[in-house]
Amino acid sequence: MSLLSRNEFYPGFPMLGPAIIFNQHTFQDRLKLSARDGTKKDKETLVSTLTSIGMKVQAYDNLTTAKILEKVARVAQEDHSNDSCIVVAILTHGGILDSQQILYSYDGTYKLRELIEACTSEKCKTLHGKPKIFFVQVREP
């Protein structure tokens, strides 16, 4: 069994697109969260898999909330005319608060909805009609 070529995977676009991975292993002491042992291996597996299918992977470790939101906004502002999709993967602690998915950064929390909204067609015209794929691996604190 052979893998599909990039053009067979999503015809009409020369590139699959960007993949951003936010990996949270450690947290500020004031958050009283345990380190996420094993997350380095998960990140490495994601990087390897997404790279092998031709995605442009950017992986970050232990970012603050401000940096995470900044990185997503910056990627969303890029020209994705030649990309077929965007992938965002989040590996962290999290939970539900007021019916919202809350995720932990190094220094606090943010909502999954904030990342999703940064990638909408209204914010990034060149992602219109293209898949915006979010992988969230959360361990409750």
**Mean pLDDT to the nearest integer, 107-136:** 93
Give 15's pLDDT tier (boundaries 50, 70, 90): confident
Give 11's pLDDT tier (boundaries 50, 70, 90): low
What's the CA gap between 131 and 118, in Å, rounded? 14
Supply the Cα-derived Rg of the chain in whole angstroms: 16
Structure tokens at 92: 């962290």
**Mean pLDDT to the nearest integer, 33-44:** 95
Q: What is the pLDDT of residues 54-110, one digit of tens each?
A: 899 999 999 999 999 999 999 989 999 999 899 999 999 998 888 888 999 999 999
What is the reported pTM? 0.89
Confidence (pLDDT) at 97 = 81
Confidence (pLDDT) at 1 = 40
* Domains of the chain (ranges, CATH numbers): 6-139 (3.40.50.1460)
Residue 104, burial from CB neighbour count under 10 angstroms (0-12, 13-18, 19+): buried
